[in-house]
Amino acid sequence: MSRLRNPWGRPRFLALITAGYILWSVVPVLLAIAFAFNNGRSRTTWQGFSFRWFTGETGSVLHDPALRDALGHTLLLAVICVAVATPLGVALALGLQRWRGRLSGSVNTLMLLPLVTPEIVMGIALLLLFLQVFGGIGLGTDAQAIGQITFTLSYVVVIVRGRLVSIGPEFEEAAADLGAPRRDQFFRVLLPLLAPAIVASAAVAFATSIDDFVVTQYLSSDASTTTVSMLLYSSARGAPTPALNAIATVNLAITLLTLVFAFLVYRRFAGRDEATSVATLEV
C-alpha cells in the first residue's frame, strides 16, 4: 500500500481536490433547499425559518393550484411509467437472456439505443410520431407516459439482466433435476430470486420519470400537463418565490426516499456489492 504513493505529490493534494469537488457539487443544492424554508419572499437573503412555502395559506406547494397540480401530474406520470415499464422490461430481459437467435443481437442494440440517444432527438422523434402518425393519441398525458416508458424500459432491462447473469442457470437446473415442472421452476425459483432486481428497477424507473424533463416537455400539451421539472424550467429565471425551491425540495425528497428504499431492499436480498452496482447504474 505505502509503495503506491501518489506520483503527483502528496495524496493530500488529491484529497483537497476531491473534498473541494464534493463541496462544490453539493453545497449549492443544500443552499437551494435551505431557502425553501425561508420566511420571506427572497431566495437570496435569509429571513428566518418557516414552512410557509410548503404549507402556507397562499403561494405554497400545498395551496397554490399551479404547484400542486404540477406535483400531482409528475407523480401520476411516474406511477403509469412504473406500472407499464416494469412488467414490459422484466419480460424483455427474460426473453433476451434466453433467446439465442440471429435477431437477438439487434434487439439488444435496439434496447440500449434509448440510453445513449440525446433526449432532444427522442423528444422530437416522438413529437413528430404523435403529430403525424398517431394523431388520435395526440400530445398530453398519454404521449408523455409513452415517451417516458420508452427510455425507462431500457433501465429496467439492464438492471434485471444484471441480476439474471449473477443468479446463473444453476437454481433452475437444480429445480428441474428435482422434478419441478417448468412453471414451478419459473414462478417458485427464478421469480423470487429476481424480486429484488424488479423492486430496484421499478424504483429507478420511478425516479427517472420524476426527474425527466426534455421528453416530458416535448410531449406536453397544455398547462394541465406541466410537471415539476417543466415548472422549474419555465419559472427559474422569472421572479419566483421560494415556493419554487420548496417544490424542488419535495421532488428531491420523493426521489431519494424511493431510491433509498430500493437500495435497502436490494441489499437485504442480493448483497451489498450488487446493490452498489445498481446504484451506479445510472451511467
Q: Judged by CB under 8 A, does residue 136 bind other proteins?
A: no
Size of the site for other proteins (CB under 8 A): 92
Q: Binding to other proteins by residue 195, rule CB under 8 A? A: no
Please, which residues bridge with residue 38 across strands? 49
When the beta carbons of 3 and 65 are compared against other proteins, the nearer one is 3
Name residue 131's amino acid.
Answer: L
Binds other proteins by CB under 8 A, chosen from 66, 76, 83, 127: 127
| 57 vs 177 by CB, closer to other proteins | 177
Site residues for other proteins, window 148-187 (CB under 8 A)? 149-150, 153, 157, 165, 182
Report in angstroms how near the CB of residue 182 gets to other proteins at its nearest.
Answer: 7
Q: Grid cell 449549492 — which residue?
A: 28
Answer for which of 47, 72, 79, 110 binds other proteins (CB under 8 A) is 110
Each residue 247-276 as x (binds other proteins by CB under 8 A) or -, in order, gives -x--xx--xx--x----------------x
Identify which of residues 200 and 228 has a Cβ nearer to other proteins in the complex. Answer: 228
List 126, 145, 160, 197, residue binding other proteins (CB under 8 A)? 126
Residues in 23-62 that interact with other proteins by CB under 8 A: 24-26, 28-29, 31-32, 35, 43-45
**Other beta carbons less than 10 A from residue 127's beta carbon:** 17
Stretch that binds other proteins, among 54-62, 103-111, 172-180, 188-196 (CB under 8 A): 103-111
Closest CA to 198 of 87, 79, 275, 76: 87
- Distance from C-alpha of 180 to C-alpha of 188, rounded to nearest angstrom: 9
Residue type, 193: L
Binding of other proteins by 92 (CB under 8 A)? yes
H helix runs in the chain, sequence order: 11-36, 52-55, 65-98, 104-116, 119-132, 141-167, 170-177, 182-184, 191-211, 214-218, 228-235, 243-270, 272-279
Please report where in the chains the cell 407523480 appears, as a residue. 75
Q: How many CB atoms lie within 10 A of CB 23?
A: 11
